[in-house]
Each structure stands twice: as C-alpha cells, then as structure tokens.
C-alpha cells in the first residue's frame, strides 16, 4: 500500500483525523500540541497519525492536501486546515458548526470555555 493509499484509507475510515508531529498524548511540536489540546479539551474522538514515525506519510500528507505544514486536521474525509486555521475556527465558533454539521460529538461547554479564556 502506498503512502497516498494509506492516507486516503485513514481519512475516509475515521470521522476526525489529526496528522501531527507526535501523538495526541505526547505532541512533539507546539503547533501539533495546540490543535491536539483543543480537540482533547473539547472531548473530540479522533485518530492521531504521528508523521515523525514515517517519512513517506510525513511528505505524503503534504502532497495529499497540497498544504505545506503539519499538523493537518481532517473531518469526514475533508481537509480542514492547520494550526492557525483551527485556532481561528475554534475562537469564531466555526469549528463547533463544522463538528455539529458533520455529526461529530464534542463538548460545547469546553468549546465555550476556550473562547472565554481567549476573549
């Protein structure tokens, strides 16, 4: 199976996937840590893919999304964005809307706490 096939299989078989440096329990960079922290705090059930464990996946995900940086968040097979986009979407409430429309369970109170802490 090629890296592209592996990536496609991962993003289509999981509702939410975060391609990141490290794991959701042990992020290995600040940007990955921020996005994983948001998802963890909001109680989102997501698959994490450590791109540091496989160079083919690390480069392959950049090619797959045509996006040059990691982390990368996918919801229902669609690329959503990286750290800055996810941060903006969280603070604006757009991420809540995306999760709600996609049928992804999350803690609405936790999302609100993030916005309150950053206002």
Which residues are part of a known binding site?
A: 29
- Residues making up the binding site for [2Fe-2S] cluster: 29
Strands 72-75 and 47-50, bridge-based pairing: unpaired
Helix (H) or strand (E) holding 81: strand 78-81
From CA 5, how far away is CA 60, in angstroms rounded? 10
Write out the two tokens for 38: 């948001």
Half-sphere exposure of 25 (CA within 13 A, CB side): 0
**Is residue 45 a contact partner of residue 75, using CB atoms and an 8 Å limit?**
no
């Amino acid at each position: 199976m090629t890296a592209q096939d592996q990536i496609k299989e991962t993003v289509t078989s999981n509702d939410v996937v975060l391609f990141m440096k490290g794991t959701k329990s042990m992020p290995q960079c600040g940007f990955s840590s921020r996005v994983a922290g948001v998802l963890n705090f909001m109680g989102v059930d997501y698959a994490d893919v450590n791109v540091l464990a496989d160079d083919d996946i690390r480069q392959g995900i950049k090619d797959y999304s045509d996006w040059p940086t990691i982390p990368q968040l996918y919801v229902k097979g669609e690329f959503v964005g990286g750290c800055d986009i996810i941060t903006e979407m969280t603070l604006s409430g757009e991420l809540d809307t995306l999760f709600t429309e996609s049928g992804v369970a999350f803690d609405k109170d936790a999302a609100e706490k993030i916005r309150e802490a950053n206002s």
